Amino acid sequence: MKSRLYDMFVWLAGSDRSILDRCGQSEHIKHGGYGGLVIVPALLGWISMTYAVSTLTDSKFVYIFAGIAWAFIVLVFDRFIVSTFRKSEKIRTDVFSAVFIVRLLFSVGIGILVSHPLVILVFNDSLIQELTTMQIEGEEAINQKYEIDIQKVRGRDSLLNASLDAKTAERACKEKLLLYEMSGKDTTMFCGTTSGMKQYGPRSREIKSEISLLNEEMATLRAQNAVKLDSNAVAIAKIERTRDTKLEEFRNNYSDNYLAREIALERLESHEVGGRTVALTKWFLMLFFILVDILPVTFKALTKTGEYDRHLLQEDKMPITITNAYERHKKNETRKVYVDEIEDLRRQKIKQEIQGVNGTPFRDLLKRLEEYLG
């Protein structure tokens, strides 16, 4: 008695047990293998969808249920594809038939859907590192954007301080020039010249007056700058608060979901160092998983026609033979009904003629019946 596992494999292969039981052991093994190959893509689909949905939600119930649902869909599709593919006598005819090509394309499509999340899963550690880098870059971009605004405000502060520094430097120059004037030193500086006379004369008083004027201007400038610097400090504080708010929103909304991992994978492929290796590995893995998904229908198409296939072809031909025999039988029955009706009609007419023969000579009676007796 065959195991339940074998029965399940045969069911997955879509094989007819009544026909398979009339075949040898090799046919049983082959069709059990078809069913086993159908399970593999479903298992990969379960892993694939479970992982993909787990990047979107933390609910185990949701992503496990989604994985099971997707595995069931893949299983049903693959079972349909394998079970509805009927082999002919020649492998070449099977491989190049439209029936096989359509089923192969369906299998490739399912393979692509199953394979991509698995590729993301394989690169998971590298993608997490890349996602961290992307988050840091995003924060730096926000900081840089608002730092430009802050530097603009600080630039205005620098201009204010520069104007005050210029006045301070000019006053220091004037004070030094006054000392030179009173000592009688003849010199020229950027803020003026001395008279060369050692005395507190008109030139000394002029320089002292200029120093007093500079002190007044500096006092006024300090007062004006203080107001502007306070305003700039408020503006900088506001920009910093906005920046901090944006950073907080970015950190809270930053996601490492499936789409983000796809973007991270594209970034890995674009890296100058190792990017080509990542791309080749990605495509190799995708092709591998696609090949796994098309294995059931491909193996069935490439295997030689077996005893089961020949029995199945005979089963398909039997209904046609039975139908033809049934149609001939119905035609014969219909023809017999028509003949019986004609005979009944002839008998009735003969009976009517005989009923009217009283006193009619036999020769005349015979002539009247000739058309019925033929």
The pTM of this model reads: 0.61
Amino acid 343: pLDDT: 65
Q: Tell me the chain's radius of gyration from C-alpha atoms.
A: 51
CA separation for the pair 49, 41 (Å, rounded): 12
Q: Could you tell me how many residues make up the chain?
A: 374
Name residue, tokens 């099977």.
94
Q: What is the DSSP string of 261-286?
A: HHHHHHHHHH-TTTHHHHHHHHHHHH
Amino acid 65: pLDDT: 92
Contact indicator for 266, 131 with CB cutoff of 8 Å: no
Nearest 10 degrees: CA dihedral of 105, 110, 116, 118?
Answer: -130
Q: How many CB atoms lie within 10 A of CB 299?
A: 14
Q: Which of 63, 80, 73 is nearest to 113 (CA)?
A: 73
Q: What is the DSSP string of 61-90?
A: HHHHHHHHHHHHHHHHHHHHHHHT----S-
End-to-end alpha-carbon separation of the chain, Å?
Answer: 72
- 359 sits in the region (left: phi over 0; alpha: psi -120 to 50; else beta) called left
Query: Would you state the structure tokens that stand for residue 270, as one six-digit string?
Result: 């674009």
Q: What is the pLDDT along the chain (374 residues), one digit of tens a residue?
A: 457 888 888 888 877 777 777 777 888 888 888 888 888 888 988 998 998 888 888 888 898 999 999 999 988 888 888 887 777 767 777 777 777 788 788 888 888 888 888 888 888 888 889 888 888 989 999 999 988 888 888 888 788 788 878 888 888 887 787 777 777 777 777 777 776 676 667 777 777 787 788 778 888 888 887 888 888 888 888 988 999 999 998 888 888 888 888 888 888 888 887 788 888 888 888 888 888 888 888 877 777 777 777 777 776 665 544 445 556 666 666 766 666 666 666 666 666 655 555 555 555 655 655 555 55
Amino acid 357: pLDDT: 52
Amino acid 156: pLDDT: 80
Query: Would you state the structure tokens that stand for residue 310, as one six-digit string?
Result: 């020949």
